[in-house]
Amino acid sequence: MIRKVLLLILTVLLAIGLFNSFAHGVSLKFMGLSVNTSAYSTIVDKSKQLVNKKAELETKNNKDYNQALSRQEAAKSNFKINKASYDELANRASVEEVRQANQKEEYFLDYLWMKIGTYANTNAIKVKIYPNYERDEIKFDITGQYIAVINFIYDLENDKELSFNIDNIVMQGGSSSAVTKASFVVSSIHIVTGEGNG
């Protein structure tokens, strides 16, 4: 009889202990080992948070994907519209309009000398130019230190007022301090001298 009572008491205590650990969690340390369990409510809360986060992530992914897809479709649509407008404009363009669109840049020779001379003085180089009025181009022969020659070509090419198309660059190799020679051609320009040329 006593055994049954003791067994019943132990069972009740064990049940209470299990319920307590289930409800509040347990943190035990025994011979260097530690056991930690979370309370049931904490586990439920974390599970709900995980589900909510997953749902938010899926919603965001779907939203971002749909927005990106929508932007792509809009870009494709705009491209088609713009291409159709361009094709229509090109088909309706007259010969004169096409000629004007492809018109060469026009420069006064005095103006060119002023711009070219300014860059030549800045870079301390010597320049000779040979205008070809029939081919609408200018051939350049330049002499100076290697870096100065490079800078001069760069200055001409990046001058927005000149809009030069520089071709056929031929340049001697050399160190940064060596004197070198270079030549190149500027094409697609119409040169006006004021004396009936061009």
pLDDT of residue 103 exceeding 60: no
Could you tell me the maximum CA-CA distance found in the chain, to the nearest angstrom? 136
**Mean pLDDT on 168-181:** 77
Rounded distance, CA 164 to CA 149, Å? Answer: 16
Which of 21-25, 118-122, 164-168 is least confident? 21-25
Enter the tokens of residue 154.
């760069």
- pLDDT tens for 151-162 read 999 999 888 888
Phi, psi (deg, nearest 5) at residue 125: -130, 165
**Mean pLDDT on 21-27:** 59
Burial class (CB in 10 A: 0-12, 13-18, 19+), 153: buried
188: nearest Cα among 162, 164, 153:
164
Question: What is the three-class DSSP state of 196?
Answer: coil
- Asked whether the beta carbons of 138 and 186 are under 8 A apart, the reply is yes
137: nearest Cα among 110, 164, 111:
164
- pLDDT tens for 26-79 read 565 656 666 566 666 677 677 788 888 887 777 776 776 677 667 767 766 766
Rounded distance, CA 151 to CA 76, Å? Answer: 42
**Mean pLDDT on 105-130:** 89
Q: What crossing angle do the helices spanning 109-123 and 146-157 adopt, rounded to 10°? A: 140
Mean pLDDT computed over every residue of the chain = 75
- Asked whether the beta carbons of 190 and 107 are under 8 A apart, the reply is yes
Q: What local confidence, expressed as pLDDT, does residue 138 receive?
A: 92
Identify the band that residue 104 occupies on the pLDDT scale cut at 50, 70 and 90. low
Residue the block writes with tokens 């697609």: 188
Identify the band that residue 196 occupies on the pLDDT scale cut at 50, 70 and 90. very low
Pick the CATH number of 105-192 from 3.30.70.60, 3.20.20.70, 3.40.47.10, 3.40.1180.10: 3.30.70.60
